[in-house]
Structure 1
Amino acid sequence: MDRVRSAFNSMSERYSRFTLQPAEDGERHVEVKLSDDAVEDSAGGSPSFRPAPRRQQQSTLCYLALGTLLIFLTGKKSVLKELEKESFDCLWFPRSACDLPRRSAGSVEDKFLANHIFKEFQKVEMDPWTDIHYVQLQTPDSQRPNRVRFGADVFEPTGYLAYSATGQVQGKLVYGNYGRPQDLDVLQDKNVSLRDSVLLLRAGQISFAEQVDNAAAKGAAAVLIYPDAQDYQYRADTALYGHVHLGSGDPYTPGFPSFNHTQFPPTKSSGLPKIPAQTITANMATALLRSGFKGGLSATYRLGGGENISVEVNNVLVNKEIHNVFGVIKGFVDPDQYVVLGAQRDAWGSGYAKATVGTSVLIELAKAVSEMVEKDGFRPRRSVVFASWSAGDYGSVGATEWLEAYMSSIDKRVVTYISLDGVVVGEYRLFITRLTFLIIYANVCRMRPMSIDDPAYPFLAMSGVPSVSFHFISPNTEAYMYYGTDLDHKDHLDYQTNHRTSEMAATAAQFAGQMALRLVHDRLLRLDVSRYNGVLTKAVAQIYKRINQLLKGLNPTWLNRARGAFQRATISINNDIRNSNLDDKEACRILNGRIMSVEHALLSPYVSPVETPYRHLLLGRGPHTLASIAETTDMEQLHTPLALATWNLQGCANGMVGNIWDLDEEI
């Protein structure tokens, strides 16, 4: 363990400092500063887990991400030690694994890595175990390639979009920018018909799945997606890979685990697209575009319809056995509560930034924490679980199947999920974080609510587990452009980090380690649930505004009272924390239980996990969410969703109060 001895140091002045700073609103926030030689650049935002475009420079002050607040206490001696940067050679994968050209989910290479991780956990006596699932993945048909025909041109793209609808369609070619709702509305406002058209879209801004779903909602027959040179500065013949399932997990076992398909009735996820979708290269897109809309390619773009084009998708479903691998360091006081750190290990190509770095950080954190327990006398109060997921590139399949399999125990015991996917995609001059419950204000970072394509999203929106993702990226960029391509390899990541990949991986490991160890060490979970109050106030105001616009006879007062009950419940928790003896183990456990109930209680009990898996009232997707209610145009159908959302929120408030005799009866 010489290569990772001295894994962390005391709050590590070398890499990052956490200090509580007063703000104008009187609250305390956490300031994150990088090493003294770092350049504090405020540009950019959080990368998505697929290619995304760059944006203009934004404010240097991080804004509020949806969720509650994890506060790092300072002034205490940390159990962390400095991570040895030199040990990140090949990022701790066996050399043969670093050289693998591909390690797609369920492949021989994927299982080889799973076995390697299992043995690494065994070496440090972490009692590892394997969670096996039998899932359906979609791959190209080697006998019948996907094709795009346009006039005399016939293209056979190498890249593809998993879970696309199959078949051959023909329609008028229409350019639709990024395929966002506002992009497609512009076309319709200009009387450009989208029905039965083939939409040509630029990759970026939103996920592939959202692009295809938006197009289908407008009546399009098929979708083609390409990387525009204005957004992606790489070879014009680069193939794109991704998936278009508007959800996560195996879409043929929605709501239940894929242990054995014979146990459950055949069904399909409501998030599967009903139209074919295919990626094409920038070169192919250049050949398709003719005139009328200026963009980043050498050709000009047609805003309206063009010639007819044929799209043929022949992808096939294959059954794959995938292995999730786990190791655990059990807590000494509350072992039934645990923090989970996870990383996917599969990739379309080499997946260096997307999978190799995160998996390497996972392994070395496991070793370092194990050594702290074995040699340094560290006694974590709660357990730490280290998870290596498979089939992440198909939409967090491995992680979601695990969540579906053990939902009844996970949602009550997992304190936090920390995603290690994509933690290093650039230099450390800029620290970017995308998260739900952790809110950091600083001069060098920017926040976002968690998006549907974030690997941590199923933990939050489906299972009600507080979740966090964070990323280090380069200045003046918002994304790592090589996700979903064969170009995500060591040389490109080294270029993006100015050959500081090892240093940045060390920094990311320390940051994740500090979060995890604080959460398993402290008696009281430092999660400030009152941070949801502002989010709820804004959401309820939007519903009031909508109802006043469209329906004068409906009174949403009860919803506002439920919001008030939630706010009073958060005040009650904070008052009880201030007035409790935090040396009292039982008092802390009761308080922690009230805090941990919040995210799970915000999952709507009134929708089916099969049809609406992302049940979170605020951060989910579907008609049950406050955001959806605020946008509804069907007033006849408004009453029931509004009533159910109101009682969902009131139930969450009741759960925070604790004792039944203290429940708020105002509603």
Structure 2
Amino acid sequence: MDRVRSVFNNMVKGEQYSRFTTQPDEEGGSQVEVKLSDHGIDDATEVTHQPRGSPCFRPPTKKQRQRKACYMVLGVLLLVSLGYVLGYVSHRAHQQVPATCSAEQKEEEKMSVEASKASEAPKASEAPKASEAPKAPEAPKAPEAPKASEAPKAPEAPKASEAPEAPDAPLDWTDITRLLTQKLTSQAFNKTLSDFDLRSRSAGSDEDLLLANKIFKTFKTQEMDPWNDIHYVQLQTPDSKHPNRVQFGSDEFQPKGYLAYSATGTAEGKVVYGNYGRQEDLKVLQTNSIELKGCVMLLRAGRISFAQQVANAAEKGAAAVLIYPDTEDYKYETKTELYGHVHLGSGDPYTPGFPSFNHTQFLPTQSSGLPTIPAQTITGQMAATILQKIGGPEPEASSGFKGGIPSVPYTLGGSVNIKVEVNNVLVNTEVHNVFGVIKGFTDPDRYVVLGAQRDAWGRGYARANVGTTILTELAKAVHEMVEKDGFRPRRSLVFASWAAGEYGNVGATEWLEGYMSSLDKKVLTYISLDGAVMGRGGFMASSSPLLHSLLESTMKEVKSPLDSGSMYDMAGGANWEINSMRPMAMEDPAYPFLASSGIPSVSFHFITPKVEAYPYYGTNLDNMDHLGYGTNHHTSEMAAVAGQFAGQMALRLAHDHLLRLDVQRYSGVITKAVAKLSKHISKLSKSAGLNPNWLFSARGSFMRAAAGINIAIANTDINDKEACRILNDRIIMVERALLSPYVSPTDAPFRHLLLGRGSHTLAAISETTDMKQLRTQLALATWTLQGCANAMVGEIWEIDNQI
């Protein structure tokens, strides 16, 4: 080893690099010796300033160098051999004996182990006692070696029945629906309904924020990457120091209920009874020569929204509006207070068309849908006092003006004054939308959104609690299907808890306005869970025509909560569209998604037969007991069925290769609207030369484009991911392309050509008598429809330009 060490040291000190040696001379100075590399210099060449120096730095001869190289090779081989031997011995000492090893191998290993133990002789103090000597020492076994009787079994092999399913093995649709039904149980709904039941849940309150945090934690527990969307919105509330008042002769009323976003101030005029305040009701008043300009109109709640009632009255020149619940429509105490809002629109009315992230960065503005006259709710008892004294003519029995309050004549009034004072105040309020997501495995950038409002006036059991419960239970069920059952949704599922829904879908609308550039072409469908359970025995739904086929197929798959049949039978069977479908109204929580953002949307409700409206909305009577009475005490079972129905629609859209959106369903809607408009034009344009042929041509383009999509669907290989994605992008363009690009979202936020509101819609054009406006709107509507057809075609070289 000394020889090897010496060779190694000499190698290190070889002449491969320049060296500088400083040594003192005899006179105390220093001398520098420079040695260069062998390369390019003769072996005998040496450059020095002095012949003196350390012998180890003198250049070796050629023979010495060869000897050193030989020693170096031998040393390296020795080290490698030694390392290999040590590794082999170490590996053999720890190697397990296989179950199939031969007897000779076992004997050799046994001898080796015994020899190693013998070399480790115990100390004298550790010698075994005499009493223990007769015991024969057990032959040592290799670590973890299986017993001979277990040798044929594969170590740790799972049984066939316990073998886990491959994580990428897709579940078929039958498995998915079975799992969803198993996980959405009435017992789970009972617990969550109880956990989320609050005495008060008004928007922006401490209770509301507490519930938002609870939902956030639920989503976090499910590993759904939750996040908050915070807005600062203007909510109108009563002034505690200056209550709203109604003065009628010697009677003064101070109702606790109110209508948010009413105009403030005092109005006085003749009180006039106008039934529900519909256009046909106001025509009855005009037929009876009742003066509407400057009057205070007394209306009963129902049939249309509060906002529409106030807008209709203001259009006729009324000075103020009072709204009450009539006992014919609402079977509860006459002292019950009503709450609601009168904004003819959605979202924060003081940030129309843009989000309310921070009011300070925007100029003051307001929605065109805000009322210009004061509006206030009163109780049925207050209304009875007024109706008994207003006088005036009696309407015809066929008009439907007769209500249900006993001993009240229901005359039209017009002769007695009444004074209304509204002192509501605007409050800048922080509200939180809460989201969780289950991401898709193929197209995670395509979303199906399910949502429910979290706030309500009072307890809001049916209004908010049931929907919020369905939302969270569905999230839990789908998460468990992904984590434990191998479900792999192609697209993402987003679960949203909305704030300030009672003020006109404020939270949802502000989210749409704030992120539409990010949501465009990504949100495939919105499914509203608000008011999903309002009774038992009937079914009602509102949706985009694109979703009618999906609704029908889902109703056939989900069992009826009443008997062994399906929801399809409960909804009317083959006549389900006539019996159960309703046009989507502006107050519907899904409406801003459909009419403002062009997202195919649906809302559905289990109802009591022949009672479409849940009577306790907007009151403090919306509680567990009253909803239980409406569902015959099967609220949790009904909520579970509602969850299965919404869940199956959402999972269909997230699971299938091709989207379940039927573009052909719009053909009938467009044909009907175009026919009505054409008939209207024919009456007005005989002398003006206006021709509806362009509109007919655009309709034809739409029909051909829809047929082309269906042909492409039939010819597409669903295993071709890119082909499916391209085709799905064409399908989701339909709803968005029906939004008119020619109107401002500030002035006309509901821009949908067929389902929106405003002068741009085909329905409004069909009633226009101004020829100049008719010509302009007809041209814009025609090109909107043609643009939709072009978007459906996809490639620009295939666009139909026959128009």
Considering the TM-score relative to the shorter chain, is it more than 0.5? Answer: yes
Q: How does 1:525-540 map to 2 (within 5 A)?
A: 525-540=659-674
Decide which of 626, 649, 654 is 1:520's aligned counterpart.
654
Decide which of 623, 643, 652 is 2:779's aligned counterpart.
643
Q: How does 1:339-418 map to 2 (within 5 A)?
A: 339-418=448-527
Q: Cα 1:398–1:93, aligned 2, differ >3 Å: closer, same or farther? A: farther
Q: How does 1:122-137 map to 2 (within 5 A)?
A: 122-137=220-235
Q: How does 1:427-576 map to 2 (within 5 A)?
A: 427=536, 429-436=537-544, 437-439=546-548, 440=551, 442-445=568-571, 446-552=580-686, 553-576=689-712
For residues 655 and 316 of structure 2, the distance between their equivalents in structure 1, rounded to whole angstroms, comes to 51
**Deviation of the 1:89 alpha carbon:** 2.2
**Deviation of the 1:657 alpha carbon:** 0.3
Decide which of 67, 74, 80 is 2:180's aligned counterpart.
80
Q: How does 1:284-299 map to 2 (within 5 A)?
A: 284-290=382-388, 291=391, 292=394, 294-298=402-406, 299=408
1:617 is paired with a residue whose SS is coil
Q: Which residue of 2 aligns with 1:652?
A: 788
**One-letter code aligned to 1:435:** S
State yes or no: 1:277 paired with 2:277: no
Q: Deviations over 1:542-563 (max 9, x none)?
A: 1111112222221111011101
Q: Which residue of 1 aligns with 2:751?
A: 615
Q: Deviations over 1:560-596 (max 9, x none)?
A: 1101111110001001111121221111111100000
**One-letter code aligned to 1:149:** Q
**Deviation of the 1:432 alpha carbon:** 2.1
Contact conserved, 1:372 with 1:378, CA < 8 A, in 2? yes
* Greater per-residue helix proportion: 2
Q: Cα 1:493–1:90, aligned 2, differ >3 Å: closer, same or farther? A: farther
What's the Cα RMSD here?
Answer: 1.4
**One-letter code aligned to 2:539:** F
Q: Deviations over 1:339-378 (max 9, x none)?
A: 0000001011100001000001111111111111111111
Contact conserved, 1:614 with 1:620, CA < 8 A, in 2? yes
**One-letter code aligned to 1:316:** V
Q: Deviations over 1:186-206 (max 9, x none)?
A: 211222111011111110111
2:229 is paired with a residue whose SS is strand
State yes or no: 1:140 paired with 2:238: yes
Decide which of 249, 264, 276 is 1:151's aligned counterpart.
249
For residues 322 and 87 of structure 1, the distance between their equivalents in structure 2, rounded to whole angstroms, comes to 28
**Deviation of the 1:430 alpha carbon:** 1.9
Structure label with greater radius of gyration: 2
Deviates more, 1:314-323 or 1:431-440: 431-440
Contact conserved, 2:229 with 2:433, CA < 8 A, in 1? yes
**One-letter code aligned to 1:567:** M
Q: Which residue of 2 aligns with 1:309?
A: 418
For residues 254 and 156 of structure 1, the distance between their equivalents in structure 2, rounded to whole angstroms, comes to 32
Q: Cα 1:617–1:157, aligned 2, differ >3 Å: closer, same or farther? A: same
For residues 752 and 342 of structure 2, the distance between their equivalents in structure 1, rounded to whole angstroms, comes to 21
For residues 451 and 295 of structure 1, the distance between their equivalents in structure 2, rounded to whole angstroms, comes to 25
For residues 77 and 398 of structure 1, the distance between their equivalents in structure 2, rounded to whole angstroms, comes to 32
Q: Which residue of 2 aligns with 1:424?
A: 533
For residues 596 and 684 of structure 2, the distance between their equivalents in structure 1, rounded to whole angstroms, comes to 31
Decide which of 595, 607, 632 is 2:731's aligned counterpart.
595
For residues 489 and 636 of structure 2, the distance between their equivalents in structure 1, rounded to whole angstroms, comes to 28
**Deviation of the 1:75 alpha carbon:** 6.7
For residues 253 and 187 of structure 1, the distance between their equivalents in structure 2, rounded to whole angstroms, comes to 36
TM-score when normalising by structure 1: 0.87
State yes or no: 1:217 paired with 2:315: yes
Q: Which residue of 1 aligns with 2:266?
A: 168
Q: How does 1:138-287 map to 2 (within 5 A)?
A: 138-287=236-385
Q: Which residue of 1 aligns with 2:36?
A: none
For residues 483 and 181 of structure 2, the distance between their equivalents in structure 1, rounded to whole angstroms, comes to 15
**Deviation of the 1:493 alpha carbon:** 0.5
Contact conserved, 1:187 with 1:304, CA < 8 A, in 2? no
Contact conserved, 2:193 with 2:465, CA < 8 A, in 1? no
Deviates more, 1:110-119 or 1:186-195: 186-195
Decide which of 330, 335, 359 is 2:444's aligned counterpart.
335
For residues 191 and 460 of structure 2, the distance between their equivalents in structure 1, rounded to whole angstroms, comes to 13
**Deviation of the 1:250 alpha carbon:** 0.3
For residues 471 and 604 of structure 2, the distance between their equivalents in structure 1, rounded to whole angstroms, comes to 14
For residues 777 and 301 of structure 2, the distance between their equivalents in structure 1, rounded to whole angstroms, comes to 34
For residues 772 and 499 of structure 2, the distance between their equivalents in structure 1, rounded to whole angstroms, comes to 44
For residues 534 and 512 of structure 2, the distance between their equivalents in structure 1, rounded to whole angstroms, comes to 27
**Deviation of the 1:80 alpha carbon:** 2.3
For residues 406 and 478 of structure 1, the distance between their equivalents in structure 2, rounded to whole angstroms, comes to 34
**One-letter code aligned to 2:604:** F
Q: Deviations over 1:375-429 (max 9, x none)?
A: 11111100000000010000000000000000112131001000000001111x2
Q: Which residue of 1 aligns with 2:165?
A: none
1:423 is paired with a residue whose SS is coil
**One-letter code aligned to 1:356:** N
Contact conserved, 1:604 with 1:615, CA < 8 A, in 2? yes
Q: Deviations over 1:517-564 (max 9, x none)?
A: 111000100111111111111111111111122222211110111011
For residues 181 and 534 of structure 2, the distance between their equivalents in structure 1, rounded to whole angstroms, comes to 24
Contact conserved, 1:91 with 1:356, CA < 8 A, in 2? no
TM-score when normalising by structure 2: 0.72
1:412 is paired with a residue whose SS is coil
Contact conserved, 1:348 with 1:486, CA < 8 A, in 2? yes
Q: Deviations over 1:173-192 (max 9, x none)?
A: 11111111111112112221
For residues 610 and 90 of structure 1, the distance between their equivalents in structure 2, rounded to whole angstroms, comes to 43
Contact conserved, 1:329 with 1:384, CA < 8 A, in 2? yes
1:319 is paired with a residue whose SS is strand
Gap runs ≥5 in structure 1: 1-72
Q: Which residue of 1 aligns with 2:190?
A: 89
State, as a whole percentage, how many aligned pairs show the same letter. Answer: 68
Deviates more, 1:649-658 or 1:407-416: 407-416
1:493 is paired with a residue whose SS is helix
1:545 is paired with a residue whose SS is helix
**Deviation of the 1:81 alpha carbon:** 3.1
Q: Cα 1:74–1:366, aligned 2, differ >3 Å: closer, same or farther? A: closer
Contact conserved, 1:93 with 1:360, CA < 8 A, in 2? no
Deviates more, 1:77-86 or 1:400-409: 77-86
- Higher relative contact order by CA 8 Å / sep ≥ 6: 1 or 2? 1
Contact conserved, 2:543 with 2:600, CA < 8 A, in 1? no
Contact conserved, 2:189 with 2:473, CA < 8 A, in 1? no
For residues 639 and 186 of structure 1, the distance between their equivalents in structure 2, rounded to whole angstroms, comes to 33
Contact conserved, 1:461 with 1:619, CA < 8 A, in 2? yes
Q: Cα 1:286–1:272, aligned 2, differ >3 Å: closer, same or farther? A: same
For residues 661 and 175 of structure 2, the distance between their equivalents in structure 1, rounded to whole angstroms, comes to 18
